Amino acid sequence: MNDVLVVDDDPHLLKALKITLHAHGYSVVTAPDGESALRSAAQHPFGVIVLDLGLPDMDGTAVITRLRQWSRVPILVLSARHGSDDKVKALDAGADDYVTKPFGLDELLARLRAVQRRTIQGEEAPVVTTASFTVDLALRRVTRNGQDVRLTPTEWGILELLVRNPEKLVTQQQLLTEIWGAAYTKEANYLRVYMAQLRRKLEPEPGTPRHFLTETGIGYRFQP
């Protein structure tokens, strides 16, 4: 879990952080705005997310709120502002810690370690088991009858979002915006195709699903 997602609209800072973090053993992915950050986070599990509050497309706290709907990944917030208002808002939304720009790299690295240490301890095993398959969210692996099941990235995204909200009705809008982005809210077609594939790979009887239930006109529900 040394994968870090860095979200900032300043390409120079992005590049500098990428180099520095890489030198300290982190594997770094970057995103320039909130949309792509959310998409990246949905498609790949990160050990920590470094998030600048001043993004071009959406408010930083909105990104945190959306992330927290399905993920508990530690979030370290960057902000240029000194006022404590947005700091409080970000922490309320679910951020774990806060660094004010300009910051020393030592401080950033220290807080990164602290944030990860804190969450590793308190974390329970993110493994979900049903009658017919098992999902290991940390290892990003699905097994069925002892066999690994191959899933495409998109299939993973959908499965992960549903499994992280067990029994909860996830709307088509939520799925489409989290996986494909806000511009795809009309493409309910995609969902039908991928839900069919997920069921074919995971359900004992794809024709009469037990774990991936359809709520017509609204969305889908995962039943462990």
Partner DNA sequence: CGCGCACGTTAAGATGGCGTCAAGATCCGC
Partner DNA sequence: GCGGATCTTGACGCCATCTTAACGTGCGCG
Kindly state the smallest distance separating residue 169's Cβ from a copy of itself, in Å: 4
Q: Contact between 152 and a copy of itself (CB under 8 A)?
A: yes
- Choose between 113 and 140: whose C-beta lies nearer to a copy of itself: 140
Q: Contact between 147 and a copy of itself (CB under 8 A)?
A: no
Closest CA to 223 of 137, 197, 208: 208
**Residue ranges that bind DNA, judged by CB under 7 A:** 82, 150, 152-155, 172, 180, 187-193, 195-197, 199-200, 206-207, 214, 216-218
Which range, of 22-30, 61-69, 151-159, 193-201, touches a copy of itself by CB under 8 A? 151-159
Q: Contact between 201 and a copy of itself (CB under 8 A)?
A: no
- Choose between 81 and 140: whose C-beta lies nearer to a copy of itself: 140
Residues at the site binding a copy of itself, with contacts judged by CB under 8 A: 138-141, 152-153, 156, 167-169, 215-218, 221
